[in-house]
Amino acid sequence: MQNVRMSAIVLMILGAAATRLLPHPYNFTCITALALFGGAHFSDRRLAFAVPLLALVLSNVALGWVWSLSSLAYASHSWVQYASFALVVPMGLSLRGRTTLLRTAGTTLAASTMFYLVSNFGVWLFDAMYAKSLAGLVECYVAAIPFFGNALAGDAFYTGLLFGGIHLLESRFASLREPQPLGA
């Protein structure tokens, strides 16, 4: 039964990652939701990091084939985005077994904000567009505010879709329910 559950979770993550290949508003993606969902639903911590990261890499490769890298600046700070993504997984781990609507919404907001702060710090640090000063850093964060709105909306949408989807599947198919410890 655990293999059925794990397969369903992997397929949900890969399916969500594939939505990045569809037309969508800028930054309205599933990235943060993938990391939160993986952290919350894989019983093996290695898989909690590896599967969402692999989905991100695969979707980035697919996007790279379609768009190609538009600038060297993107390539030089993309590792910061992967690090930001990896920092979201432990936030998902904190939801494991405690996925209430309020807790999940709060964690999504915190994860979105953390991703915004860390990834835009990387943009400021590696992109020549911004002065390497406090004023340049503030300018970078202010310029990214419209993108943060889309990211937050996408994070909320995809987190709701993934967490709600697994809840619905678990309620319909007993084989997808997480095994409970004896005596629980």
DSSP string, 15-73: HHHHGGGS---TT-SSHHHHHHHHHHH-SSHHHHHHHHHHHHHHHHHHHHHHH----HH
Q: What pLDDT is attached to residue 80? A: 80
- Calculate helix-pair angle for 72-93, 101-126, nearest 10 degrees: 160
Q: Could you read off the pLDDT of 33-75 as tens digits, one per residue? A: 989 999 998 888 998 888 888 887 787 777 775 444 444 445 5
Higher-pLDDT residue of 121 and 10 is: 121
- What does DSSP assign to residue 184? -
Question: What are the two backbone dihedrals, phi and then psi, of residue 147, each rounded to the nearest 5 degrees?
Answer: -70, -30
Higher-pLDDT residue of 171 and 64 is: 171
Cα–Cα distance between 96 and 150 in angstroms, integer?
26
Cα–Cα distance between 111 and 120 in angstroms, integer?
14
Q: Could you read off the pLDDT of 139-169 as tens digits, one per residue? A: 999 999 999 999 999 999 999 999 999 999 8
Q: What pLDDT is attached to residue 74? A: 52
Cα–Cα distance between 99 and 74 in angstroms, integer?
35
One-letter amino acid for residue 124 of the chain: W
Asked whether the whole model's pTM tops 0.85, one would answer no
Q: What pLDDT is attached to residue 1? A: 53
Domain ranges across the chain: 2-176
Cα–Cα distance between 29 and 88 in angstroms, integer?
15
Given a contact cutoff of 8 angstroms between Cβ atoms, the answer to whether 17 and 30 are in contact is yes
Q: Which residue has the tokens 């991703």?
A: 115
| Mean pLDDT of the region 13-29 | 83
Exposure of 97 in the CB half-sphere (CA atoms within 13 A): 5
Cα–Cα distance between 34 and 155 in angstroms, integer?
9
Mean per-residue pLDDT over the chain, rounded: 84
